[in-house]
Every structure is written in structure tokens, then in C-alpha cells.
Homo-oligomer: A and B are copies of this chain.
Amino acid sequence: MEDQQKDITIYDIARKLDLSPATVSRGLKDHPAIKKETRKRIKDAAMKMGYQNNLFASNLRTKKTNTIGIIVPRLNSYFMSSVISGMESVVNARGYNLIISQSQEAFEKEIVSANTMFNSRVDGLLVSLAYDTQNIDHYEVLLKKKIPVIFFDRVVDHPRCTNIVIDNAKAGYDAVHHLLEQGCKRIVYIGGNLKRNVYADRLKGYKLALAESGIPFDESLVIINTLNEQGGQDAAQKILEMKQKPDGIFAANDSSAVACMQEMKAAGIRIPTDIAVVGFNNDPISRIIEPNLTTINYPGYEMGEIAATTLINAINSAPGSTINTLVLRHQLIVRESSLRR
């Protein structure tokens, strides 16, 4: 009997304390117009009676939800977990809730997720685009209502959205420049859909580094796929079948780099002697594979923190945030997989 009781409301507290609901509401919120002592009485009573703020009622009134949405391609990478972790830490500290949705790397599902977020009336949205997202019309409905949308990692230019990224072109350049320094002449790039800035920009860096060394760009050395384990294996297959063997690989993520290395090792290729390899992300697996994988450190946790902070600032300041792009620092981490001298 004593479970399933009705919820305590501010009316119950008001009655008990012989105050008006309005005063109770104010007292609970530490409104300065209420006497300190009254405030204390109210809070004590609320505590004792097991009062619990009804978010739906207040959201209905105030039209703020204190909820932030996140749409990511997938949760299952070390990078993404770090990002989410960073977001959670700032969001919680600022009193917001988080709802997370996975697009499963699919455009269609991303649209559904965006609508769900809209219907849940999130105060703001953090997005990393799916692999094959074609356009971002599905975010217009939020933007039209001045709900800020911030893109991170896999971003797209939009006049009203801030982007949080690393300098992918520079990172790609750093990776390939390093391979060239190690004496590589024929370097394969394994990347994802070039619609995604991260893969396109890393390719730009690749090209720039080659150009700088006077090496002509060779289309046939660019392999595009989904960059998962299967993708890495497929890439290895392609490389093994090349008539003119490459001597370096720059892969746009560590999972594909590792899968590719395993396949090549199984085929008797020595790394780095025959082929030097550089990955991307500094995933823990880069320190498990043998030889340990040279990679680009990607500050996921910090990216999450910054994206969330920027979003909350945008939510709380009326005018369209003026920051266009925020670029975090990356770093080449050299390990054995690429060391040839």
C-alpha cells in the first residue's frame, strides 16, 4: 500500500507549510525575493516529504528541456567512447541530460535520429555525420527553431553551425611526410567516403606531402572503403595484388590499419621492412598489434568536452554563435610499424 503513492507536488508542500504554491516554487529555486528562512523551511519539507520536481510540468511551462542530444555513427570505437565520455562530464556538471542515438553509419537512420531528437525537444544537438550522409536538410527543422547544432569530427560547413575538428589535412600531411622521411616512395592511402571531411582532408594532406617531395599522385594507390576490419582486409588484398608493390600505407583509422597489417603479415610481408604503416586515432589496439602502430593522436575526450561546452554556451546566449570552426591539436606518434632507419 505504501508504495505506488501519489507523487508529492508543490501543492502538498504549500498546504503543509501554509504557503502558496507560488512561494514554494520560488523557494525551491532559491528565488531571492523569498526570505532565507522560508526557503529553508520549504526545502526541508520538500526533502522530508520526498518531493521530486516534475520535469514535464516545468518543461511544458518553460519550453526548456535541459536535455542535449548526441547523434554519432557508432558507439563502438575507442575514439567515440572517449568523445562521449568528455561530453558527459561537462554536460552533467552543467545540469543537462544527455540522450544518445546511433545512426549506424546510415543516412536514413540519421534522419530518423534527427527527428527523434527534435521531438524530444533537445535544447541543442551534437552531431558526427554518418558514413554516407548526403545532405543535412534534416537538421534544418531544429535550426529553424534556433536550436543550436554543433558538428564534431565528421562535419559539414553550414552558416549557422559550429564545427569542432582537428586539422585533418595537416595530420594527413604529417603522416605521409613521416613515411616519406622513412624512405617510402609508393604510399597507399586507405580512406573512407570522400564526402566526409575527415577522409577528404586527410587525402589532401597526403597529396600535398607527395607533391612537396615531387612524387606524382597515382590514383590507383587510393583505396576507399568502410574502414572497418573487413575494409582493412580488403585493402590488404588489393595491395597484395598490385603489380608494383607499394612500400608505405597511410590508413585513415587504426582498425583498418591493424586489420590490413594482419592480413599482410599472414601473406609474409614484413612490416616495416617491406611496407611501413601509419594509422590514425591512437586507438589502444595500435599498441597491441606487432609491430606497434605509428598513428595520429586524436584528442577524443577533449573534443567531447569542447563540443559540449561550446554547445551549452550557444544554448545560453541568444545570438547565433559566432565561432565557425574550432580546431584541436593532433600529434604524430611514431612507433615501430613505420621506422625504417
Where the two chains meet, the residues of A that have a C-beta atom closer than 8 Å to any C-beta of B are 3-4, 52-57, 59-60, 65, 74-76, 78, 81-82, 84-85, 88, 97-102, 116, 118-121, 143-146, 229, 258, 262, 284-285, 287-290
Contacts and interface: CB of A to CB of B under 8 A. Distances in A.
B102 A99 contact: no
Given A3-B144, A97-B99, A284-B285, 18 more contacts: A3-B145, A4-B144, A4-B145, A54-B60, A54-B121, A56-B56, A56-B59, A56-B65, A56-B121, A75-B85, A76-B82, A76-B85, A81-B81, A97-B120, A98-B99, A258-B288, A285-B285, A290-B290
Contacts of A84: 75
Give this chain's copy count: 2
Nearest to A75: B81
A63 to B, nearest CB: 9
Contacts of A289: 288
Nearest to A59: B56
A56 B52 contact: no
Nearest to A88: B102
Nearest to A2: B144
Contacts of A75: 75, 81, 84-85
Nearest to A79: B76
A146 B3 contact: yes
Given A60-B56, A290-B290, A116 B145 contact: no
